[in-house]
Amino acid sequence: MAVPQRVEACEPNHRNETAVKFKSNVRHFVIRLGMLAIVPGLAWPQANPCDLNGDGSVNVVDVQLAINMALGSLPCTANIFGPGVCNVVVAQRVINTVLSGTCITGTGSIPHSVDLNWTASISTNVAGYNVYRASALSGPYTKLNSSLVVGITYTDTTVQAGQTYYYVATAVDNNNNESAYSAPPVQAIVLMVVIGLWPS
């Protein structure tokens, strides 16, 4: 079905029952339901699923509600991980929303990352760096970047919660000569956050 470029709809004026025309250049369609025209996709404010008390902001009150729902002391009204699912994942997502402002919904995993930085090589002909990762201190190490890292920072977005990783970097010169691994390897533990309960 083609979506029209220009939309016209009529809605009766409630004072004198004459039709009022409005136009829009948005790429959406209009569904006419009785006296109401609904235009899907307009930027109307949507309720945040992590705003469990519906007050317009996600805060500590919503965190406490999520914890109480997960414990079963309140009925589960959340629809974050799925309809009627209230568990530690839901509570953690509400906590993450308070910290980041983004409510992650659905059954997908919560993204984790490791931010790395290092001191630049003192060599004058460095073209860039390679970053390697292993799951054991002794290796084997696998290169993460597909092209040289030009700066002195790298973010590994392929990590999983509850895992420990070890990182090393190498410098690569203009002739494609690569240095030895940086030493010692840097350890990163990607935490699985566990919610602690405390008396109120």
Q: Are residues 120 and 180 in the same domain?
A: yes
Tell me the CATH number at 106: 1.10.1330
Higher pLDDT, 36 or 108: 108
Greatest mean pLDDT range, 8-12, 43-47, 110-114: 110-114
d(CA 15, CA 164): 68
Whether the per-residue pLDDT at 199 is higher than 50: the answer is no
The domain of 166 spans: 114-189
Q: Are residues 185 and 124 in the same domain?
A: yes
Higher pLDDT, 59 or 161: 59
Which residues 6+ apart lie within 8 Å of 99 measured at CB?
none
Q: Are residues 127 and 179 in the same domain?
A: yes
Among the candidates 110, 130, 160, a domain finishes at: 110
Phi, psi (deg, nearest 5) at residue 120: -65, 150
d(CA 133, CA 156): 9
Q: Are residues 128 and 102 in the same domain?
A: no
* CA distance readout (Å), 198 to 67, 71, 112, 133: 11, 13, 26, 37
Per-chain mean pLDDT for the chain: 74
d(CA 112, CA 97): 14
Q: Are residues 21 and 87 in the same domain?
A: no
Q: Are residues 105 and 123 in the same domain?
A: no
Q: Are residues 118 and 185 in the same domain?
A: yes
Predicted local distance difference test score (pLDDT) of residue 108: 59
**Total tally of structural domains belonging to the chain:** 3
Q: Would residue 43 count as lying in a domain?
A: no
Q: Which two tokens stand for residue 58?
A: 């996600």
Among the candidates 87, 110, 133, a domain finishes at: 110
Q: Are residues 56 and 94 in the same domain?
A: yes
Q: Are residues 142 and 161 in the same domain?
A: yes
In this prediction, residues 94-110 reach a mean pLDDT of 77
Orientation of helix 88-100 relative to helix 60-71, angle to 10°? 170
Greatest mean pLDDT range, 36-40, 176-180, 186-190: 176-180
Residue where the block lists tokens 């919904």: 105
**How sure is the predictor about 112, in pLDDT bands with cuts at 50, 70 and 90?**
confident
Q: Are residues 178 and 155 in the same domain?
A: yes
Q: Would residue 152 count as lying in a domain?
A: yes
d(CA 174, CA 124): 10
Among the candidates 84, 110, 136, a domain finishes at: 110
Predicted local distance difference test score (pLDDT) of residue 40: 40
